[in-house]
Chain A
Amino acid sequence: MSDDEDDDHRRSIDLAAGDKPGGGVLSSDPPPPFSDQVLENVLENVLQFLTTRHDRNAASLVCRSWYHAEAQTRRELFIGNCYAVAPARAVVRFPRVRAVALKGKPRFADFGLLPLGWGARFAPWAVAFSSAYSWLEKLHLKRMTVADADLALISSSLPLFRELTLFCCDGFGTPGLAYVAENCRRLRVLDLIENDMEDDEDDEVVDWISRFPETHTCLESLVFDCVRCAVNFDALEALVARSPVLCRLRVNPHVTLGQLQRLMARAPQLTHLGTGSFRFGQVGGEQEVDLEPAFVTASRSLVCLSGFRGLTPEFLPAVLPACPNLTSLNFSYAEITAEQLRPIILHCHKLQNLWVLDTVGDEGLQAVAATCKDLRELRVFPFHAIEDSEGSVSDVGLVAISEGCKKLRSILYFCQRMTNAAVVSMSKNCPELVVFRLCIMGRHRPDHRTGEAMDDGFGAIVMNCKKLTRLAVSGLLTDKAFGYIGKYGKLVRTLSVAFAGDSDLGLRYVLEGCPKLQKLEIRDSPFGDLGLFSGIQHYYNMRFLWMSSCKLSLRGCREVAQRLPHLVVEVIRERCEEEENVEAVEKLYLYRSLAGPRSDAPPFVKIL
């Protein structure tokens, strides 16, 4: 689940087509004459074949009748910024939606840069959907604050509701899950991924697993590895046993090895499995669990394996029978060395997605490169997520991967040491790269061999990887790097910048040079008002701009706000600050919006 799945569209709701300023989306026209009605029916039938919202947005711009027909037939609604449009307006324009994807907070909220209580509450959307979208089946929320009450409302108002995915959300706990389990009789998918769930006190934990219907369920996917408290295992086992079409199951670390064995016996048809803890931990019990036979059975269907939070590496070989068929493997919570990885990875010839910890080292990555010739996505996370740790992966590992995995499309790589040469190598060996995110953890760290800035490496990436749409830069970078990005990064839609650049020129290069830029997030870089102004021609084409700890002033931000009335310009302070009118802007978050300034902004947010 990543931002990469973000689309190739420009806007979810057109700012121009058919909308009068200040509302009036649906003019109350008199009913069209008969022939027009026929035309509209034909159109609706044809438009149903348009599935991507990019195409649909384009179709809606043709003329008024196409706009109406498209609006009537849109089944999937994507709202990339929950504040870009008011819920009421969205449901009025698209009355027959079956699936909604809704995103809230900006991504830097994940790293603590957005104070708590900033917003992105799901509640107003829950109210709108529960009354307007009786046919709603699927809801996919990302970085929203979802209350238990919202889940209660949704689950009890929508009879056809069958798929709920919550990614990086917060605000709900086991009571909310209980509502969903109990009320959504047709539930097929309940995916809870990396949510920050409420820490229920022991006596407030609700046994939500027991609330699923007692008959056979339609469950296809149950992912709850982020649920902090233990679930009722007997109920879980019984649930799995009566869910004949269950193919994705990811449990939380409270589920022990022995319990996992029982679950696997109940669901031999799983395609995606997330283990609980995978370790020796019991005193006086469950010491002799042999999972290998379970994995032999599972290998017939299993393609994706994850979990391993709390791993006793000695147990790892149990998964070997399943390796030859795996396309996706997530070891990013498993603290394993190259020696422990090698025997496993050696068998994973079909692997396309791999997430690991940097504890596997350059050697481990070399083993990956030697076997996984079909690798499309690699993520290497840091075990010690601090700047001055030793770091076990480096330019060596990156080069190895680039030489072995030529089909690579997406990489996220945390390291302590990197060279331009390695990055250049990757740019040449992996022409299919769409996502390149390199995080050199030491701030302003140069090429460790030459002492130079990392400009040339990133320059090569944008030059040589012609399909690149997402880029995250790091290390010591001058304006030159941004010059390259502006000059060559013509398809770049998402750019993340931290501790980089010399002057406003850097920001200008990017804002003037990258026509497809949608999402720009910058922190701790010396870009000021002049740089900000250089994007005025472009901000309406973007989803958002985030700038924190840069050199912006209130005056500059105000000027942008005045010149672009459809932009919401938020200046965000730390919560406890006294000063309201400090000229220096600590955090800026601006985004286009049809809804105007939001009414739920907390006191530490000033909307200019």
Chain B
Amino acid sequence: MSTDTAISSTESEVSGLDYEETELKLGLPGGSRNGAAGSELERKRGFSETVDLTLGGSGSASQSAESAGAQASATEKPPAPKARAVGWPPVRNFRKNALKSCTYVKVAVDGAPYLRKVDLETYQGYEQLLAVLQDMFSCFTIRDYQTERRLVDPVNGMEYMPTYEDKDGDWMLVGDVPWKMFVASCKRIRLMKSSEAVNLPPRDAQT
């Protein structure tokens, strides 16, 4: 069967992956896979960007690069495809999501009609989070007052305090507690207009 009549692969949200990439091709090792595979690799980027996969250690990354390059091995091992295959390893999404833990939180901005979501686990600390929030809503710059952090809309000078709702339902200022504790307890984030933030607990509230 000719595999050259490629099924046109697109970046669908289900899978943008062209299965031919992962297909075993018969013939001697070191065969002409790379020609066909090369152009398909670019199309795969879309898929691997949308899938939240964490890379393993650096040791294993180089190992897979080696095995992809090791064409003429004595065993009949075909060159390992570089891109990931859909649904492999076969672990259900439910399990994958459960292991990622519930660190996705919604971010709302007073006055903006849309919500965004961020995965708190992907950030190392508050600096990164605020930078991301800034990028996300693209109109703020971060102004650091001594110990407080505010985001300022340069267009109208409105100041926003990053606040969050914790597991008990209380609204707190972002930055009050150690980062890890924040990640564990934050349910959602709201960039509150400074004028409304006066009722939040003071800075030295117990952590």
Contact = CB atoms under 8 A, between A and B. Distances in A.
Interface of A: 108, 110-113, 115-116, 168, 194-196, 226, 253, 256, 279-285, 309-310, 332-333, 335, 357, 381-390, 414, 416, 439, 441-444, 446, 451-453, 476, 478, 498-499, 501-503, 523-526, 528-529, 548-549, 551-553, 573-579, 582-584, 586
Contacts of A309: 98, 101
Contacts of B26: 502-503, 526
B33 to A, nearest CB: 13
B184 A444 contact: no
B53 interface: yes
Given A283-B207, A385-B91, A584 B2 contact: yes
Interface string B26-67: 100000000000000000000000000111110111011000
B202 interface: no
A289 to B, nearest CB: 14
Interface in B157-189: 166-168, 172, 177, 181, 184-185
A444 B54 CA distance: 21
Contacts of A578: 8
B189 to A, nearest CB: 14
Interface in B99-115: 99, 101-102
B99 A388 contact: no
Contacts of A586: 7, 19
Contacts of A523: 87
A310 B102 CA distance: 8
Given A443-B81, A444-B77, A553 B56 contact: no
A390 B7 contact: no
Contact of B85 (A116, A284, A503, A524): A524
A549 B14 contact: no
A110 B90 contact: yes
15 contacts: A110-B90, A111-B86, A115-B14, A309-B98, A310-B101, A381-B91, A416-B60, A444-B78, A476-B75, A502-B26, A523-B87, A526-B24, A526-B26, A551-B23, A576-B10
A357 B94 CA distance: 15
A112 B86 contact: yes
Interface in B126-175: 166-168, 172
A108 B87 CA distance: 8
B8 A112 contact: no
Q: Which 9 A-B pairs have the closest CB atoms?
A: A111-B87, A389-B56, A549-B19, A385-B91, A281-B184, A388-B60, A441-B89, A112-B87, A388-B64
Contacts of A284: 168, 206-207
Contact of B2 (A414, A452, A502, A583): A583
Given A110-B92, A283-B166, A253 B2 contact: no
A137 B35 CA distance: 60
Given A113-B86, A439-B89, A553-B1, A388 B56 contact: yes
Contact of B77 (A194, A389, A446, A528): A446
Contacts of B185: 281-283
Contact of A226 (B85, B86, B94): B94
Contact of A443 (B6, B22, B177): B22
A120 to B, nearest CB: 16
Given A582-B5, A583-B5, A384 B22 contact: no
Contacts of A441: 88-89
**Do most interface residues of chain A lie in helix, strand or loop, or is the interface mixed?**
loop
A525 B5 contact: no
B10 to A, nearest CB: 5
A5 B84 CA distance: 32
B12 interface: yes
B22 A524 contact: yes
Of A310, A384, A451, A552, which is in contact with the most chain B CB atoms at under 10 Å from its CB? A384
B8 A577 contact: yes
Interface of B: 1-3, 5-10, 12, 14-15, 19-20, 22-26, 53-57, 59-61, 63-64, 74-78, 80-81, 84-96, 98-99, 101-102, 166-168, 172, 177, 181, 184-185, 206-207
A573 B7 contact: yes
B96 A551 contact: no
Contact of A283 (B54, B59, B80, B172): B172
A443 B80 contact: yes
Contacts of B64: 387-388, 442
Nearest to B25: A526
A406 to B, nearest CB: 28
Nearest to A583: B5
A418 to B, nearest CB: 13
B126 to A, nearest CB: 15
A277 to B, nearest CB: 8
Contacts of B77: 444, 446, 476
Nearest to B73: A451
Given A387-B84, A523-B87, 12 more contacts: A111-B88, A112-B87, A116-B14, A282-B168, A284-B168, A284-B207, A383-B99, A446-B75, A526-B23, A528-B1, A549-B19, A574-B12
A112 B7 contact: no
A465 B95 CA distance: 30
A200 to B, nearest CB: 13
A386 B90 CA distance: 9
Nearest to B166: A283
A226 B64 CA distance: 35
Contacts of B63: 388
A335 B95 CA distance: 13
A390 B64 CA distance: 11
Contacts of B99: 333, 335, 357, 383
B71 to A, nearest CB: 13
A133 to B, nearest CB: 30
B24 A414 contact: no
B88, B92, B93: which has the most chain A beta carbons within 10 Å? B88
Nearest to A437: B90
Contacts of A285: 168
Contacts of A283: 166-168, 172, 177, 181, 185, 207
A36 B184 CA distance: 72
Contact of B56 (A111, A168, A279, A390): A390
A384 B54 contact: yes
Given A281-B185, A579-B7, A552 B168 contact: no
B65 to A, nearest CB: 9
A387 B60 CA distance: 9
A577 B10 contact: yes
A282 to B, nearest CB: 6
Nearest to B11: A576
Contacts of B7: 573-574, 577, 579, 582, 584, 586
A472 B167 CA distance: 42
Contacts of A256: 167
A386 B177 contact: no
B1 A583 contact: yes
Nearest to A586: B7
A584 B9 CA distance: 13
Contacts of B81: 443
B10 A574 contact: yes
A113 B87 contact: yes
A194 B85 CA distance: 23
Contacts of B24: 444, 499, 501-502, 524-526
